[in-house]
Amino acid sequence: MARRRALEDLELTADALHWRDRNVFVTGCTGLLGSWVTQTLAEAGANVVGLVRDHVPRSRLVRERVIDRITTVSGAVEDVLLVERALGEYEIDTVFHLAAQTIVGIANRNPLSTFDANVRGTWSVLEACRRSALVKSVVVASSDKAYGAQPTLPYDETMPLSGAHPYDVSKSCTDLIAASYFHTYRLPVAITRFGNFYGGGDLNFNRLIPQTIRHVLRDEAPVIRSDGTFVRDYIYIEDAAAAYVLLAERLREDGSLAGEAFNFSCEQPVTVVDLVDRILRLMGRADLRPRVMNEASNEIHAQYLAAGKARARLGWKPKHTLDEGLERTIAWYRAFFAQGGRQ
C-alpha cells in the first residue's frame, strides 16, 4: 500500500506485477531522464542497477536519495567489459540505455567525446546485451534529432534518419546501431525518439527551460540564444519516464515490438519565444522581456513528432499539458534553490 501511494504521489506509472524483483540495468541514471526512470522502477519494486560515470551530488538521484534504493556500478558506458560484467553478476533481465552526451552546443565544440559516448557507448551496451543469456528486453534512447532536417513535418517513424551535425549524427547512429542488433542478432531491442525533455532535476542550465526559470528567480531577463522562432517538441519528464517503462513492459509481452522505433510527443509544438512567454506568465513575471541573441548555429529550425504509433500500439498518452508540466517544473526549481541548490 505504501508503495502504491508513493507512485500516485509522484504521478509515475509502472506495473508492479511486471517489475517486482526484476533485475534492471539503467545507464545514464544520474541524468534527468535516468533519475526519473530509475525512481519509477524502484517504486515498482524492481532491483535497479545503475551505471554511474561521474559522482554528481546535485543530481536528483543523489539529492532526493533515489541512489540509496539502487545498486550502482562505477564506470563508463563505453567500457563493454564493464557493462558485460554488470549484466552477468547482477543477472540483468531488462536494460534501459539512456546514457548520452545530450547538449547540442557541447557536441558542436567536442564532437569526438560526443561520438564516443553516444555511438561507441551504444554498441558497447548492445554487444554486452547480445552476449548475455539473461537479457530479455532492451530499450535504447534515440531522439527526434536522429531524423535531421526533413521537408515535411511532423516526423513519423517511416522517415529516414539523416542527421547532419554532430549531435544529430550521433543519434542517427545510435538508432541505426540498435536496429542492426535486432535485424542481425534478433536482440529484443526497441528504440525511443522524443523531443526535448523538461522537468525537475535538469541541472544543465544552458537548456532553455531551467535557464529561463533561473533567470526569473534571479530577477533577470531570460536569454534566448536563437532568434526565437525555432519550433520544438517539449515533453514533461514524468510522462517521458512512464513511456520508457511502458515500452519495456510491452516489449517483454509482445515480441513483434522488437526492432521497432516509437515517437513520443504531446504533439503540441511551440516556438522558443512562446515557451519563454509561458514560463514568464506562469511565474507572474510577464514584465521581464527576453533578450534575443540570435546566436544559435548547427541547429534545425523546426522539429516535432507525430506519436500516433505509440498511441495505437502501446496505448500511451501523456498525462500533463505543457502548462501543467511547466507549473510542476517551476515548483521543483523554487524548492531546489530554497533548499540550498546553487542559483
Peptide bond into 154 cis (omega under 30): yes
Q: Please name the residue that has the C-alpha cell 542517427.
A: 172
Q: How far is residue 29's CA from residue 132's CA, in Å, rounded to a whole number?
A: 21
Q: Please name the residue that has the C-alpha cell 569526438.
A: 112
Q: Return all residues near 87 (Cβ < 8 A) that are at least 6 apart.
A: 25, 95, 128, 129, 132, 134, 135
* Pick from 78, 183, 169, 166: nearest CA to 130: 183
* Pick from 255, 252, 242: nearest CA to 310: 242
* Pick from 267, 258, 226, 32: nearest CA to 139: 258
**How many Cβ atoms are within 10 Å of 194's Cβ, its own excluded?**
24
User: How far is residue 332 CA from its own chain's centroid?
Assistant: 18
Q: Are 252 and 18 in contact (CB under 8 A)?
A: yes
Beta-bridged to residue 112, according to DSSP, are: none
Q: How far is residue 53's CA from residue 74's CA, in Å, rounded to a whole number?
A: 6
C-beta pairs of 150-155 under 8 Å, 24+ apart in sequence: 153/302, 153/303, 153/304, 154/265, 154/267, 154/269, 154/304, 154/305, 154/306, 155/193, 155/263, 155/303, 155/304, 155/305, 155/306
Active site residues: 167
In angstroms, what CA-CA distances link 327 with 1, 199, 209?
A: 28, 9, 12
**How many Cβ atoms are within 10 Å of 342's Cβ, its own excluded?**
9
**How many Cβ atoms are within 10 Å of 165's Cβ, its own excluded?**
18
